Amino acid sequence: MKSWIRRCSPYIAPLGLFLFFGLAWHLVVQWFDIPKIILPSPLSVLNALWVERWILLRASWVTLQAASAGLLCSAVLGSLIAVLFSQSAALRIALYPYVIFLQTVPIVAIAPLLIIWSGYNFRTIVLVAVIISIFPVISNVTSGLLSVNENLRDLFRMQSATRWQMLIKLRIPAAVSQLILGLRISSGLSVIGAIVAEFFVGNSGEYDGLGTIMTARQAQLKTAELMAALMACTALGIVLFALVNLMGATVLRRWTRTTGFESEK
Amino acid sequence: MGISLPTENDRANESAAAFISCSNVVLDFQSRGVSQRVLSDLSLRVLSGQIVSLLGPSGCGKSTLLRVIAGLIDADSGRIEIRGQPISKTMPNATRDEISFVFQEPALLPWRTVWHNVMLPLEIRGLSKLKEKRDTIEHLLQVVGFKSSDWHKLPSQLSGGMKMRASIARAMSTNPKILLLDEPFAALDDMLRSKLNDLLLAISKEQKCTMLFVTHNIAEAIYLSDEIAVMSHGRIAECLKVPIPFPRESKMRSSNEFAAYFGVVSESLSRCHS
């Protein structure tokens, strides 16, 4: 019994806070008689969540596909770019400002442009997700490839190893943990990218993601349903993050039998 | 490729001349526009099959000298020769293949098993497929004290001492004629340190390998070496011949002779740094 309490204790405080917040929200809405369009009560949000559950689940699935496709492209493309960067300082110096540009570009501002170029479709959503989520991969993997322990580098140099051997046998395996670290950050970003892109793709009838649902509910002034969709977005972000974390931990455990990121000192 | 074992005849011819010779080596490090002399007019001769310890305080250039001899850093002037062949970073030659390095930390690749870590130098040289090489590795792993059940463990599953043993086995895998060791046992406790000292002596005897050993530890330097080179301010201040006979055994550490010589060496050290 005691151990059961101890096991659950980390969840009790956050759960209690959640209930307290929900109750406060409910009471505020009741006492001040706030209109439903401005702030629906938590119960009506839960109700909307239940009523729209199939729509939201389908939309979440669509958005999850777009976000994970974007994340996958970021992982592959970002790693390739990082390998190029690690091999040529000239390339790195020439291109790095543009990579930072990718990070700083207001995605909300270029999404309409991308729609013009790529159309109201899945591809555009993935494209936006890639643009917003590729930077952490490039930057983490590049630093992983370049910051290899000096003794290990000397070990290879003592054997007169070629550049290629150094890359394949040392730099790339050493950068695996950095790639996973980058993907953890990118997973959240790719969901944001997909949803923002869906705002713009809108109700074209060809595509139905969470972002599309949200713009539709906003136009209909269905605030409770909008908030339910918002909850689905959050859940989706958590799901993708957890998925990447789980995969990362599994890979690292098989890689070095360590779960953390302390493999290089 | 100079990785095959030389015949006894070759050995006899070589042993007369210096195996490693450094003459008038000068090296400056630049940092923020300020030049600092790390090695100043350093000369050192090591005979074939000898174990020579470099003893001195931190920052006197011991590790740097080792890296220069390994051909990882180029000296500004002076000559480094291994058996009369010049060594340099910019002009690597076959002679460098005869040198192995044991680092201060085990420096194992964390994603490779012990076996594959030890195999790595041969793999880079394209020799890992040879049956005889695989036999060599098996033998080496046994010599350094690995049970065959531990061959396929990853470094994270090993203790600090076992990691160091794997690191030594890796250094020996190419059958080097020269082993350079940069304070390899600094992080280990005394028990382990003396065990690994005995291991080094056994390896040097079995593989007839010339060793240059950097350490802070006077007792370790005496126990291992034919000669102790006391370093100070980038040069060899004194070369002391260790009068204790080979083969060395652990019980010699507590002999009066050992204690007396300990006094001689520590006096020399303090003389150099006063």
CB A139 within 8 A of CB A146: no
Same-domain pairing of A28 and A104: no
CB A175 within 8 A of CB A82: yes
Retrieve residue A28's tokens: 């505020």
Residue A169's CB: how many other CB atoms inside 10 A? Answer: 17
CB A110 within 8 A of CB A89: no
Determine, for residues B156 and A258 on separate chains, whether the beta-carbon distance falls below 8 Å. Answer: yes
Same-domain pairing of A26 and A77: no
Same-domain pairing of A68 and A78: yes
CB A210 within 8 A of CB A60: yes
Same-domain pairing of A169 and A81: yes
Same-domain pairing of A192 and A205: yes
List CB contacts (< 8 A) between A160 and chain B. 92, 96-97, 124
Q: Would you say residue B24 lies in a domain?
A: yes
Q: Is B273 helix (H, G, I), strand (E, B) or coil?
A: coil
- Chain B residues bordering chain A (beta-carbon distance below 8 Å): 67, 70-72, 92, 96-97, 99-101, 103-105, 107, 109-111, 120-121, 123-125, 154-157, 174
Determine, for residues B105 and A157 on separate chains, whether the beta-carbon distance falls below 8 Å. Answer: no
Same-domain pairing of A24 and A77: no
Domain count, chain A: 2
pLDDT recorded at residue A206: 61
Residue B121 C-alpha from the chain's centroid? 17
pTM of the model: 0.82
pLDDT recorded at residue A263: 40
CB B56 within 8 A of CB B85: no
Same-domain pairing of A1 and A42: no
**A258: nearest CA partner in chain B:** B156
Question: Is residue B180 within a helix (H) or strand (E), and if so which, with residue range?
Answer: strand B178-182
ipTM: 0.85
- Torsion-angle region of B87 (φ positive above 0: left; ψ -120 to 50: alpha; else: beta): beta
* Range with lowest mean pLDDT among A128-132, A261-265, B229-233: A261-265
Q: Would you say residue B2 lies in a domain?
A: no
CA distance B20 to B177: 11
Residues spanned by the domain of B184: 8-272
Q: Kindly write down the DSSP assignment for every residue of B220-252, as one continuous string.
A: HHHHH-SEEEEEETTEEEEEEE--SPSSP-GGG
DSSP type of residue B125: T
Q: Would you say residue A40 lies in a domain?
A: yes
Question: Tell me, what CATH number does A165's domain have?
Answer: 1.10.3720.10
Same-domain pairing of A248 and A208: yes
Retrieve residue B53's tokens: 């310890």
Same-domain pairing of A18 and A104: no
Same-domain pairing of A58 and A26: no
| Average pLDDT score over chain B | 84
Q: Would you say residue A263 lies in a domain?
A: no
Q: Would you say residue B3 lies in a domain?
A: no
Same-domain pairing of A30 and A58: no
Our CA-based measurement puts residue B263 at a distance from the nearest CA of chain A, in whole angstroms, of 35
Q: Would you say residue A128 lies in a domain?
A: yes
Q: Would you say residue A173 lies in a domain?
A: yes
Residue A131's CB: how many other CB atoms inside 10 A? Answer: 23
| Main-chain phi, psi angles of B213, to 5 degrees | -125, 115
Tell me how far apart the terminal alpha carbons of chain B are, to the nearest angstrom. 46
Residues spanned by the domain of A109: 36-256
Q: Would you say residue B150 lies in a domain?
A: yes
Same-domain pairing of A156 and A252: yes
CA distance B184 to B186: 6
CB B199 within 8 A of CB B165: yes
Question: Tell me, what CATH number does B15's domain have?
Answer: 3.40.50.300
> Where is mean pLDDT largest: A2-6, A97-101, A145-149?
A145-149
From residue B31, how far is each of A35, A149, B36, B37 by CA, in Å? 69, 21, 8, 11
pLDDT recorded at residue A262: 43
Does the pLDDT at position A265 exceed 60? no
Our CA-based measurement puts residue B265 at a distance from the nearest CA of chain A, in whole angstroms, of 30
Q: Would you say residue B130 lies in a domain?
A: yes
**Which of A153, A157, A152, A110 has its CA nearest to residue A131?**
A110
**A176: nearest CA partner in chain B:** B111
Q: Would you say residue A220 lies in a domain?
A: yes
Retrieve residue B152's tokens: 């396929």
Q: Would you say residue A24 lies in a domain?
A: yes
Q: Would you say residue A235 lies in a domain?
A: yes
pLDDT digits (tens, 9 = 90+) for A160-184: 889 999 999 999 999 999 999 999 9
Q: Are strands B210-215 and B227-232 parallel, antiparallel or unpaired?
A: unpaired
| Average pLDDT score over chain A | 88
Determine, for residues B109 and A173 on separate chains, whether the beta-carbon distance falls below 8 Å. Answer: yes
Domain count, chain B: 1
